[in-house]
Chains A and B, each alone.
Chain A
Amino acid sequence: MNQHALLATLAALVLLPAQAADMNKVLRVALNAPETGFDPAKVSDLYSSTVTENIFDPLVTYDYLARPAKLIPNTVSALPTISADGKVYTFRLRPGIHFATDPAFKGKKRELTAADYAYSIKRHLDPSIHSPWSFLVDGRFVGGNELVKAAGKGALNYDAPLAGIKVLDRYTLQLTLTATNFNYLPILAMPAFGAVAREVIEAHRDNTNAHPVGTGPYLLKEWKPGSRIVLEANPGFRKVVFNATPGNDPVDKAVVQALQGKTLPQLGRIEISVIEEEQPLWLSFLNRQLDVSGIPQAALQSALVIDPKNPLKVRLAEQYARQGIQLQRQLLPEVTFHFFNMQDPVVGGDSKDKIALRRAIAMSFPVSEAIASIRRGQAVPMNYIVPPGVAGHNPAFRGAPKFDPAAANALLDRFGYRVGSDGYRTRPDGKPLAIELACGTSALDKQWNEYWQKTFDTLKIRLGFRQGKWNELSKANHQGKLQMWGMAWGADYPDGENFMQLLYGRNAGDSNAADFKNADYDRLFEASLKLPHGSQRNQLYDAMNKIAVAQQPWIFGDIRMRSTLAHSYVKGLKLHPLLNTSWRYLDLQK
């Protein structure tokens, strides 16, 4: 399956800082939405992570070129040893890695140690920090619960010994999990688990978001919240030289040709603007005010020549190809879906008539038509809870019911949802049937809503829209006040567990937004946790998917194909499914 996979070794030849970045090379990129800050324990949005990824170093990271994504050591000398029971992870740090300079270090060079990782991971447990990622660490480490309990609502006692997160020596970190888990390593590759220095955090206690000091290739030079972020190459960054052997993939060849033997990073400065509107984003890219950019939905038509018979087969439009603009594409490791509130008296419940109602709606929603029209074909229908590119995906599984509104209508008839005198269906008990769909307020939401309106019109069911800000809807859903809502879930780490847990009963009201509670599913999920990625676990996932398809708590949506453009002078670009950016690998040759 991965014949083209190859290895790019990031050789740490000399552990002395070697500034290779050319400060005159400035990369200009844009974020589509405002970021919030740069404290890895406080931010969870994609846009902030995009930046923190370049400032902080997690223990392990992903190989730039290998597909599917492959974990490689980052600040450790080798991947950790994992005990046979899948509970104890032991990391061995490379000595000689230093934090970027900061006044908190009082002018001394500050080396990265195992204690820094212990501190950084413990911060996610700290009740006073309210880490958005605490669900990844809560109850996972031996002794963690007790320590958290002792802290109450105050700050965690970082100095108290914690069996689960142990610093064996200056460079050795040992994590002990409470339960078998062979898939914990990808979590530690997230930017949220990059190392911070305790001195820095304590020196800027009130404003850690604005003072990210890490060991990564870049440091924060300027921050105008919601508008502009400037990163500069970290002059103290350890020497990393790009070294890889390309396979057959032309993109890989180009990357290797551009980077082979070069010290990373090459770019001295990265200027990030926040551009929320599509028109200025697209026009700025075309005008070379941006070097790399996604293609806004509205520009897909003019930027890509799409084969109508096979819409995923595209090439760059002639006028752009002539300018040497590069096009790269990849399926995002995410799923979009609409869920039903399974505790709702109308759409929830597991009696057959309720399932029939949900199924009928699912059968009538024209996913493919919406993909054709809204996504311009640049998406595939979702058929499995775990998306492609994430461990545990089953490409052969067809989870979405066949689009057949006529049969859906007949199905509703069979279960007593009769069409009343006003032309709309009633519930089997004769009460009026009206369903409310929660949605956002953007133009894109509106396009989707038009399809929902159409769906419900064909089913002759009254539909209401409940528009609101995300947090309002989230709160309403939390209180069980919503009936239907659409969501997108992106992989935090490339493991199926990150997706399968979305329907786990114990996560109901939390990440299980549908409040789906199914004992079979829960049992299977708990069993899957103990297994490493492999066919054994895949069978469990298949069974769980079948339950989800049969019970229909979700209507499967689509999985987007990301198209990224870069001007001809941008070298070394290859999209990565899990790394948010490839800035440290890029070079500009104008």
Chain B
Amino acid sequence: MLAYIVRRVWQMVPTLFGVMLLLFVLFNWVGGDPSYILAGKNLSAEALAGIRQQLGLDLPLPQQFLIFMRQVLTLDFGTSWSTQQPVSALLHSRIGPSLLLTGSILLLGTVLAIAIAALVAYLRGSVTDRLVTLIATCAMSVSALVYIIAGQYWLAFKGGWFPIMGWSDSTLDNLLHYLPLPLLLGVIVGLAPDIRFYRSCFVEELGHDYVRTARAKGLSEPVIMLKHVLRNAMIPVVTSLMMSLPYLMMGAMLLETFFGIPGMGKEVVMAVERSDFPVIKAITIYIALATMLFNLLTDIVYKLIDPRVQLH
């Protein structure tokens, strides 16, 4: 196991290198020139050149890439070009709200989706099943944007059940006060497609021979569903969960913007808007690392769920 993890971590190096290369090319090619932002109203050629020199943008590209590599190795991305705050401090303050928001959406969404999907898979063919599937299909056809706009307008403003927006330093306050509405909307946006997908996973598992064996043993349907089917169906479920993570970031970005949550999604957009390359680099590298680590974790979870999985 340890050897496997070591090898997998070692295998991340080329991917990380690729990510760095992609990022570097993208943002040196198209990323915009930050000196024009920093110069403000003073756009004289000397001022611009001076800023570029200070940011190290006048160095040859290979040397800039080397610096980038050193930053990745030390995980020290220096300071933001636009606010001059240390990138690490910036990310540190952003990661908490992001994790709280996306984490709770993911957790609640997954638990609910699995529960509902298991129920309708058990009742497959019934009116409930068809109704839930139809509602889920219709619900997922509405743009996330509409949910957020309408949710904020009607639930928070007209209904007055939630604060319009905001975020506090106290986690408890956030959980009780500010989180519920974005959480609700985030879950609604993600729930419908998940239910549909998980239901199909469960139904497919129900067709397998071992379910017949379980029935032949005299097990009741709920036991079959919860004990035998659920664990087998977890493989595609875990896979889809992992695949949904990058998309979550985009969805969360809208939630963060509308509900004033100081998270990573908003930070990315702001950094790109300001051509704040150090922040972009740091966020991308951290997310790439997180994605890769999560992939590894997923494989290890596979192993826990399914003993057939071989970790090579």
Contacts and interface: CB of A to CB of B under 8 A. Distances in A.
A398 interface: no
A44 B37 CA distance: 10
A134 interface: yes
Interface string A256-277: 0000000000000000011111
Contacts of A210: 83-85
Contacts of B80: 225
B86 A275 contact: no
- Chain B CB within 10 A, most for which of A44, A128, A130, A279: A130
Given A289-B165, A289-B166, A226 B262 contact: yes
B260 interface: yes
Given A134-B42, A471-B34, A279 B275 contact: no
A279 B258 contact: yes
Given A228-B167, A273-B166, A283 B262 contact: no
A275 B266 CA distance: 11
B262 A277 contact: no
A109 interface: no
B165 A275 contact: yes
B312 interface: no
Nearest to A192: B40
A224 B262 CA distance: 8
Interface string A23-37: 000000000001011
Interface stretch (B3-11, B45-53, B190-198): B45-53
A478 B166 contact: no
A296 interface: no
A509 interface: yes
Contacts of A208: 84
A475 B44 contact: no
Given A34-B270, A284-B165, A132 B36 contact: no
A514 to B, nearest CB: 13
B84 A42 contact: yes
A40 to B, nearest CB: 12
Given A280-B152, A283-B152, A469 B32 contact: yes
B38 interface: yes
Contacts, number: 138
Given A130-B47, A130-B54, A226-B267, A280 B38 contact: no
Contacts of B259: 280
Nearest to A136: B42
A474 interface: yes
B164 interface: yes
Interface in B146-168: 149, 152-153, 156-157, 160, 163-167
Interface in A273-322: 273-277, 279-280, 283-284, 286-287, 289
B257 A276 contact: yes
A475 B33 contact: yes
Contacts of B287: none
B40 to A, nearest CB: 3
A330 interface: no
Interface residues of A, number: 50
B164 A37 contact: no
B43 interface: yes
A206 interface: yes
Interface string B57-90: 0000000000000000000000110111110001
B217 interface: no
B173 interface: no
Nearest to A222: B169
B83 A209 contact: yes
A470 B38 CA distance: 12
A273 B260 contact: yes
B83 A227 contact: no
Interface string A118-149: 00000000011011111100000000000000
Contacts of A284: 164-166
Interface in A24-69: 34, 36-37, 39, 42-45
Contacts of A232: none
Given A280-B260, A283-B164, A471 B33 contact: yes
Contacts of B28: none
Given A224-B93, A280-B164, A474-B43, A36 B257 contact: no
Nearest to A498: B41
Counting contact residues on chain B (CB < 8 A from A), the size range is 35 or more
B165 A280 contact: yes
Contacts of A275: 165, 260
B85 A225 contact: yes
B22 interface: no
Contacts of B84: 37, 39, 42, 206-210
A45 B40 contact: yes
A472 interface: yes
B273 interface: yes
A279 B149 contact: yes
Nearest to B271: A226
Contact of A283 (B34, B39, B51, B153): B153
Contacts of B54: 128, 130
B42 A510 contact: yes
Interface string A513-532: 00000000000000000000
Given A45-B40, A130-B50, A472 B262 contact: no
Contacts of B39: 130, 132
A277 B42 CA distance: 29
A545 to B, nearest CB: 22
A492 interface: yes
B38 A226 contact: no
Given A207-B84, A273-B260, A277-B257, A130 B51 contact: yes
Contacts of B90: 225
A510 B43 contact: yes
Nearest to B272: A469
A474 B33 CA distance: 9
B43 A44 contact: no
Contact of A206 (B32, B34, B79): B79
A511 interface: yes
B44 A510 contact: yes
B279 to A, nearest CB: 10
Contact of B32 (A44, A127, A472, A509): A472
Nearest to B51: A130
A402 interface: no
Contacts of A469: 32, 273, 275
B83 A225 contact: yes
A227 B262 contact: yes
A110 to B, nearest CB: 24
B38 A132 contact: yes
Given A280-B165, A289-B165, A478-B36, 11 more contacts: A44-B40, A130-B50, A131-B42, A132-B41, A135-B41, A153-B53, A227-B167, A273-B260, A280-B259, A287-B160, A470-B36
27 contacts: A36-B274, A37-B85, A39-B84, A44-B40, A130-B38, A132-B39, A207-B84, A207-B85, A210-B84, A224-B262, A225-B80, A226-B267, A227-B260, A227-B262, A277-B258, A280-B259, A280-B260, A284-B164, A289-B165, A469-B273, A469-B275, A470-B36, A471-B32, A475-B36, A509-B45, A510-B42, A511-B42
Going nearest first, the 4 A-B pairs with the smallest beta carbon separation are: A132-B40, A44-B40, A227-B262, A471-B36
Interface of A: 34, 36-37, 39, 42-45, 127-128, 130-135, 153, 206-210, 224-228, 273-277, 279-280, 283-284, 286-287, 289, 469-472, 474-475, 478, 492, 509-511
